[in-house]
Amino acid sequence: MDPLERNSDEGKEKKYNYYKGFFDAEKRREVVNHEPTLGQSIFAACLSAVPIALLLYFVSRSYTRAKVDMQNPNSMYGQMRKNMQRMMNPAGERDFRVTVKDTTFDDVVGIPEAVAEVEQYVNFLRTPEKFTRLGGRLPKGCILTGGPGIGKTLLAKAVAGEAEVPFFSCSGADFIEVYAGFRPQARARVVRGG
């Protein structure tokens, strides 16, 4: 007879006890209480704590080693750290300084009108106290525009050479907008002086 068959009349009269042997065996089993001794408890605790302690030791050791390597500029990690800092901080320090020796307005040929216009900057740079004493504000910079090869850089070097001040130069790639609005704001701050 199929115990799962529902239409059988015999199944309704006779109920099957599928767990009969299971409960009988449980009643007959002898119960023995195995309480662990103190030594066994300590040994079990040590067995479970040793892998965790080893894992923590190796993680802290590798973290310390990586930290030391990151601080060493000659290591691979130190170079990666420097490059990441350079990428993540586009407004970081840049080396714009160029030394200008013996560049004067005599070196600028063919653009006397431009030379006449930028000569006032030489006066600002040589004697700023003359203009600030009267309450004037000194210009923070000058933007030279024009096509390539017309002498913008030479004119700027001549201004720096005549005024005997350092010459700072940067290309347009240094002003590329990395974050929305960041570079134009920086350029505006430089020009405004704020």
Q: How many domains does the chain have?
A: 2
Domain, as residue range, for 84:
39-88
Residue 150, phi then psi, degrees to nearest 5: -100, 0
Q: What is the pLDDT along the chain (194 residues), one digit of tens a residue?
A: 555 555 555 555 556 666 666 666 667 777 677 787 888 888 888 888 999 999 999 999 988 887 777 677 677 777 777 777 766 665 565 555 566 677 888 888 887 888 888 888 888 888 888 888 888 887 777 888 888 888 888 888 888 888 888 777 666 655 555 555 555 666 666 666 65
Residue the block writes with tokens 């017309």 = 150
Q: How open is the CA angle 36-39-42, to the nearest 5 degrees? A: 95
Domain annotation covers residue 2: no
Helix, strand, or coil here: 79? helix
Are 154 and 67 found together in one domain? no
What's residue 62's pLDDT?
86
Domain annotation covers residue 22: no
Question: Which sign, positive or negative, has the C-alpha torsion 99, 92, 141, 194?
Answer: negative
Domain annotation covers residue 30: no
Are 106 and 173 found together in one domain? yes
Give the DSSP letter of residue 172: G
139/128 Cα distance (integer angstroms): 10
Domain annotation covers residue 13: no
- The distance of Cα 11 from the centroid of its chain, to the nearest Å, equals 75
Residues in the chain: 194
Tokens of 171: 């290309």
